[in-house]
């Protein structure tokens, strides 16, 4: 059986996309479906390559028993050939992903989505970047992502 591959993408890959990745993995673990998926995250920027997720996001996620284990990396041309779904956290990163694909890849393998298209509870059109705000912003992002990541899962399963 071929695995479904999902790449969550934000700007720096230290707040929103690693949280979305961890939430998705946690959901898969609870459903016993990890064997059928490849799940990663990346950033459109390169500032944080190799770093762990922001400590404030890791702490907020740990309070919900969600472990963020990934390290930051930048999206690459090869990702358009590896991942069935590339899921952007906001409009700016969605456009950056589309631009990168148009410049570097001739494949139509990946379906590029906006995570908030799968929300059911929250009205936000984009997942806000909590990096420059207070600690409560990280909890808010986790609330938003738990909703939209669940909706995304339901749409592909």
Task: Give me the residues of the chain with pLDDT under 70, please.
Answer: 1
* Pair 22, 70: CB distance under 8 Å: yes
- DSSP code, position 34: G
Task: Determine the structural domain holding residue 127 and report its residue range.
Answer: 4-156
Catalytic residue among 15, 16, 56, 147: 16
pLDDT at 107: 74
Count of alpha carbons within 13 Å of 105, Cβ hemisphere only? 19
- Residue with token string 């609330």: 143
pLDDT at 114: 98
Catalytic site residue 15?
Answer: no
Q: Tell me the C-alpha distance between 136 and 134, whole Å.
A: 5
CATH code of 12's domain: 3.40.50.2300
Catalytic residue among 10, 56, 119, 147: 10
Query: The pTM is what?
Result: 0.96
Catalytic site residue 16?
Answer: yes
pLDDT at 54: 97
pLDDT at 81: 94
Catalytic residue among 26, 79, 90, 129: 129
* Pair 39, 24: CB distance under 8 Å: yes
pLDDT at 88: 98
Catalytic site residue 54?
Answer: no
pLDDT at 134: 87
pLDDT tens for 102-118 read 998 777 889 999 999 99
| Number of domain units in the chain | 1
> Rounded to a whole number, what is the distance in angstroms from the first to the last CA of the chain?
14
């Amino acid at each position: 059986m071929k695995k479904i591959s999902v790449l969550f993408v934000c700007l720096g890959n230290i707040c929103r996309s690693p949280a979305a990745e961890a939430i998705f993995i946690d959901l898969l673990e609870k459903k016993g479906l990890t064997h059928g998926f490849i799940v990663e995250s990346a950033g459109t920027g390169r500032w944080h390559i190799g770093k762990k997720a922001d400590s404030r996001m890791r702490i907020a996620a740990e309070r919900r028993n969600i472990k963020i284990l990934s390290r930051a990396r930048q999206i690459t041309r090869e990702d358009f050939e590896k991942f069935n779904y590339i899921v952007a956290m906001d409009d700016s990163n969605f456009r950056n992903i589309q631009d990168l694909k148009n410049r570097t890849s001739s494949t139509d393998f990946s379906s590029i989505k906006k995570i908030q298209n799968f929300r059911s509870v929250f009205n936000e059109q984009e997942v806000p970047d909590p990096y420059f705000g207070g600690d409560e912003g990280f909890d808010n992002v986790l609330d938003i992502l738990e909703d939209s990541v669940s909706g995304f899962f339901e749409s592909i399963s």
